Amino acid sequence: MHSPSRRDMLVSAGLAAALGVASRVTLIGPASAQKTPGPALPFYKYKVGEFQITEVYDGIWEKAHDPTFFKNASVDEVKSALRAAGETDEFVPIPFTPMALTRANGEVILFDPGTGGQVQPTAGKFLQNLKAAGIDPAKVTKIMISHMHPDHIFGLMEKETNAQVYPNAEIVLSVPEFKFWTDPAVLEKLPPARRGLAQRIQATFPNWKNVRQVEGEVEVAPGIRTIATPGHTPGHISFHVSSGNEQMIYSADTFYQPAFSMKTPEWQGAFDQDGPTAERSRRMLAERLVTDKILVTGYHFPWPGGGKLSRDGSAYALTLSKV
């Protein structure tokens, strides 16, 4: 059996630290040690009007339970919520599911391009699974970034050199997100464990000529508009996709694990930089999804990643699409 390297251990602990989670991480080794089986087909396709949507499996973080995961929920409550959602309570399952949108002309737009194999040793399958889905990475023209946490942006840069993986694609993200992470003064404001992430961002993004910053809720490509959903990070955004009479919303980490953030939107997770603002964003987006009956998908949703939201008392319930 493969033994995890020191680099794997550092990467796993580094993700937890960068996201603001307690550093007590149970390292999951390579796929042979993974308890959660990957999907039989590592991509899932469906249509939104003329657009082909492809959910692409990048891997999973089997996060060990710890009492700091939520500010206002215990480990026992977290386990109970997982069981109620039909998920294992042995650990917190956090899948990584980037999304690709293909237009009729063959143009490909990515939404958060995965971990790049630099976050968890059980993740980093995005590019191979994208190709398995019949999508050529060379045809990617735009990349929508919801926020700058490592599991969402490390797929943009090579592990050792920081060279761009998609140098010819336009990278779209919000002004507040870019400003927060690239401000040199932020290094002194962040906990020491988070500074490495900010330093890597500052060494790359400001020097890239293909980064486009947008502010407010605007059209960033035909049929794609931003939705301001701050709280998880200062400039977190979601994306509304529409074609003809059909629409969907890529919610990214607004609902970062539906077992918690929909059933108990008031829980303030360690992932959320501003808990009260994150809760307001969750509720705002959930109400829109329910009222307008919009399909929703998210980066950490259980496979296959998309479904419909309904009210459940003062909270919400997600019904996943059928594979």
With a CB cutoff of 8 Å and minimum separation 6, the contacts of 189 are none
Which of 302-305's residues contact partners 24+ apart within 8 Å by CB, and which partners?
302/85, 302/87, 302/93, 302/95, 302/258, 303/39, 303/44, 303/55, 303/57, 303/95, 303/97, 304/39, 304/44, 304/55, 305/44, 305/55, 305/95, 305/97, 305/99
Distance separating alpha carbons of residues 297 and 245, to the nearest angstrom = 18
Question: Residue 158 is encoded by which pair of tokens?
Answer: 């090579």
Q: What pLDDT does 323 receive?
A: 53
Contact in structure between 119 and 154 (CB atoms under 8 Å): yes
Q: What pLDDT does 117 receive?
A: 95
Q: Is the dihedral of CA 70, 76, 79, 85 positive or negative?
A: negative
Distance separating alpha carbons of residues 230 and 28, to the nearest angstrom = 31
Q: What pLDDT does 316 receive?
A: 95
What pLDDT, in 10s, does the model give residues 169-212?
Answer: 999 999 999 999 999 999 998 888 789 999 999 999 999 999 99
Give pLDDT < 70 ranges for the chain: 1-32, 322-323
Is domain 6-320 annotated with CATH 3.90.1150.10?
Answer: no
Model-level pTM? 0.90
The residue extents of the domains of the chain are 6-320
Q: What pLDDT does 20 receive?
A: 44
Residue 47 forms beta bridges with which residues?
A: 52
Question: Residue 22 is encoded by which pair of tokens?
Answer: 């307690």
